[in-house]
Structure 1
């Protein structure tokens, strides 16, 4: 009889444990806190990703911003993580994998649909953006620039130039290619050579602290040329800036979905990342946000304006669009900033 009681007790304990585990999963599945960059981008992520996921999985979302790395670090170190999924730069995913971030579950994700080198252990690509060379069509209507070297040619193309606040987006790479470096040999970046090339136009450069200020410089006509990310270029054009792109070599960067280490909703967060990886979600997001689709299986119906500034649609030779070397930037960003910052103030 005692054996029967023991068996029944063990079964009861097992059943109770299972019920508790199921209750924990159900509790976890109720909500996720998603962190991104506000504005059109996050609104598009809500519509393309969150709303259909809520409809199919009954998971509610809270949205927060910005996806601040220092705040995440403080959360993880304190063991009080309140964020579940974040949109962050690909280099951040490389730098903090296994430290501040969970490794992703790729068991249900077709990674072959993403460009080689863009998927990392802790980051899933969700959209690409170009650092686009644009010029003022009214300023240069009779003699427009056609190649990267023209950006550095003040004699034939006089005028002000505006640069983005983030040095890792491609400015140094463009300087090197304009100086004769082959696109295949950009990395490791020769920072001194790139800065020497930038020295030739430094007197005509507007340095910006935010992408908003860069956009305003294009709209107001303060800048005659510029390097700007896709979203800001499109927003500038919508605001009336008379700008057109130069399709020489174009650097693509990308953002990734990441999962903070210690999230209380790990299972649901991983499932949501898998959901976002689907081509139909990527297609819808690219259409709404005007960004470059992350997956080759997505076929967005872009507006005419978005088509104008999408480098993939203008790469007739197949060698004009280059992926940023995120691994190199993740390992070297701090040392590059330490060198570039004093150069800017000289």
Structure 2
């Protein structure tokens, strides 16, 4: 007998087959008829400029979200690519000279309360103006001055062939070099709080108690493992290559990169216990020339769970539509962070905003020492 989940997925599939004419048309009416779209048009706001990453990521977003938004509303979307630091520098410069050209800026859930973003992005409150975010988003989708878009996890991953009698199950195991011998790697790409959080978990701190970070305790625990860290990776490609060349037996890695290795046939296991929750966040800039249209776009992004599912399949990120899982098989859904939220560590953006600078300074001294 089919279970409830199978029934929901079957019903969703039948609904898809009977919908016309596009796979992505479901729930479109909620977006195209939205009051925000009408208000944007009434104000003559027929364009949204989005500052976000580029490459395959942006191409995918265009195909699944931005181009359909334009097709359904007539509101054009334009894009500015660049690194996070470049975006923040440009955002600050435009804000301070009152020459804002962007409408939406992409950041992260860790950074939304940082002064450079709180000061330069609009307060969305509890997102009641963005009805789809409230009704269709997963818990925590509204971040005050931004909304979640897609999420990932920094997981513990290990080479199964290195541990034929059974592998790691926690960060405590990652630190246990006697029971699980072999060289390790950890990331060093600008978010050291993930590594520090893992150190605290390895030292017995419960996930719910990781924040505020006890830096003395975390660095002391890191000192123990340091002789066994052979690489501090700075890019997703490097984290994968360390496994391919057998330079390490385990590392913290983005879940999407680990899944890609598995698809290549590499014997990798992913441990979600104590994974670090990470997500893109999208905020409306203060002084945005097309602020109403920007909100209409944010609202639209939370519709059409089929598009969210396709996004997840292509990039292994989990968009925030709460119906996403109805369009994915169970095995694939288990590779997404949204299937493991109870066991993930979520950062405290307010604490990071207050302590980020001293944390990074201390990390920089430690990593180079």
Q: Same fold (TM over 0.5)?
A: yes
Task: Say which of 177, 194, 199 aligns to 1:175.
Answer: 199
Determine if contact 2:141/2:320 at 8 Å carries over to the other structure: no
Determine if contact 1:36/1:65 at 8 Å carries over to the other structure: yes
Of stretches 140-149 and 171-180 in structure 1, the one that deviates more from structure 2 is 140-149
1:111 maps to 134
**1:333 maps onto 2:350 in alignment:** no
Secondary structure of the structure 1 residue equivalent to 2:327 = coil
2:112 maps to 93
**1:197 maps onto 2:203 in alignment:** no
Alpha-carbon spacing, 1:89–1:183, altered in 2? closer, same or farther (3 Å):
same
Alpha-carbon spacing, 1:222–1:199, altered in 2? closer, same or farther (3 Å):
same
Secondary structure of the structure 1 residue equivalent to 2:107 = strand
The alpha-carbon deviation at position 226 of structure 1 amounts to 0.8
Q: Distance in 2 between matches of 1:247 and 1:209?
A: 21
1:263 maps to 288
Secondary structure of the structure 2 residue equivalent to 1:262 = coil
Of stretches 123-132 and 101-110 in structure 1, the one that deviates more from structure 2 is 101-110
Alpha-carbon spacing, 1:143–1:287, altered in 2? closer, same or farther (3 Å):
closer
The 5 Å alignment of 1:141-290 reads: 141-164=164-187, 165-168=189-192, 170-205=194-229, 206-278=231-303, 280=305, 282-290=308-316
Unaligned runs of 5+ in 2: 1-38
The 5 Å alignment of 1:20-169 reads: 25-26=43-44, 28-29=45-46, 31-66=47-82, 67=84, 68-95=87-114, 96-104=116-124, 106-109=128-131, 110-111=133-134, 114=137, 116-164=139-187, 165-168=189-192
RMSD: 2.7
The alpha-carbon deviation at position 124 of structure 1 amounts to 0.4
Q: How many residues were matched structurally?
A: 321
Q: Distance in 2 between matches of 1:328 and 1:278?
A: 32
Unaligned runs of 5+ in 1: 1-20
Determine if contact 2:153/2:275 at 8 Å carries over to the other structure: yes
Q: Distance in 1 between matches of 2:70 and 2:138?
A: 29
Determine if contact 1:177/1:183 at 8 Å carries over to the other structure: yes
| Largest Rg, 1 or 2 | 1
Of stretches 205-214 and 232-241 in structure 1, the one that deviates more from structure 2 is 232-241
Secondary structure of the structure 2 residue equivalent to 1:200 = helix
What do the CA deviations read for 1:10-30 (whole angstroms, capped 9, x no partner)? xxxxxxxxxxx999833x31x
Determine if contact 1:176/1:186 at 8 Å carries over to the other structure: yes
Determine if contact 2:102/2:288 at 8 Å carries over to the other structure: yes
2:323 maps to 297
2:31 maps to none
Determine if contact 1:161/1:204 at 8 Å carries over to the other structure: yes
Alpha-carbon spacing, 1:143–1:102, altered in 2? closer, same or farther (3 Å):
same
The alpha-carbon deviation at position 149 of structure 1 amounts to 0.8
Q: Distance in 2 between matches of 1:84 and 1:312?
A: 28
Q: Distance in 2 between matches of 1:278 and 1:286?
A: 15
Alpha-carbon spacing, 1:78–1:132, altered in 2? closer, same or farther (3 Å):
same
Secondary structure of the structure 2 residue equivalent to 1:94 = coil
Secondary structure of the structure 1 residue equivalent to 2:300 = helix
Q: Distance in 1 between matches of 2:295 and 2:342?
A: 35
The alpha-carbon deviation at position 246 of structure 1 amounts to 1.9
Alpha-carbon spacing, 1:91–1:50, altered in 2? closer, same or farther (3 Å):
same
Determine if contact 1:135/1:245 at 8 Å carries over to the other structure: yes
Q: Distance in 1 between matches of 2:193 and 2:317?
A: 15
The alpha-carbon deviation at position 58 of structure 1 amounts to 1.2
